[in-house]
Amino acid sequence: MIELLWWVFAALAIGGGIAMLMSRTPIASLLFLVLTFFSLSAIYVLLGAYFIAALQVIVYAGAIMVLFLFTIMLLNLGHDYRNDLRGAGWIIVAFTTAGVGAWAVSRAFGVEGALVDLGGAERIDAAVTELNAVGAVAMPLFRDYVVPFELTSILLLVAIIGAVLLAKRRV
């Protein structure tokens, strides 16, 4: 049952990502991105990573999406009211891409011991036992990966400022 749910949420995440890229209006694209984030959060719940699932919903589906929505509202985008469907060709491409992705994932998990031999599960269990779930995520994030974490936030800020400046020149 859990494996079936994993495949359903994985298909929703892939479909939401493809639909986000293919949508014509920014608001529809934003809503498809929210669908993708919630699907990823559900996958985290199925994997037993409840803290990361909660962070996914609070930080990305909540705060980042509100920031993107305010940026879209500030730029006055999405007033052309065009139909967001581009025909049957895109649906076929989306299903083909999802099928190829599912085939690649099944091949990666199908090889005996390909992912288990790395010892990642044992290291994660040891870190959770030693530090609890929050500490197992927070210690590497703020000790080893603090610079990439901060650079990502600066990159998001620069992208939003750049989008506002580029759009305000045309208005």
Note the pLDDT of residue 115.
46
Cα 20 from Cα 12, distance rounded (Å): 12
Note the pLDDT of residue 77.
56
User: What is the torsional sign of CA 65, 66, 71, 74?
Assistant: positive
Q: How far is CA 94 from CA 10, 22, 33, 57, 159, in A?
A: 14, 10, 15, 25, 27
CATH of 1-111, one of 3.40.47.10, 3.40.190.10, 1.10.101.10, 1.20.120.1200: 1.20.120.1200
Least confident of 20-34, 93-107, 146-160: 93-107
Q: Is the pLDDT of residue 163 over 80?
A: no
Confidence tier at 66 by pLDDT (50, 70, 90): confident
Note the pLDDT of residue 109.
63
73-127: pLDDT as tens digits: 777 655 555 555 556 666 777 778 778 777 776 766 665 544 444 566 677 788 8
CB atoms within 10 A of CB 15: 18
Within 19-150, strands assigned E span none
Alpha-carbon Rg of the chain, whole angstroms? 19
Local structure of residue 93 (DSSP, 8 states): H
Cα 54 from Cα 4, distance rounded (Å): 22
Tell me the pTM.
Answer: 0.54
Confidence tier at 171 by pLDDT (50, 70, 90): low
Note the pLDDT of residue 120.
65
* Domain range list for the chain: 1-111, 118-171
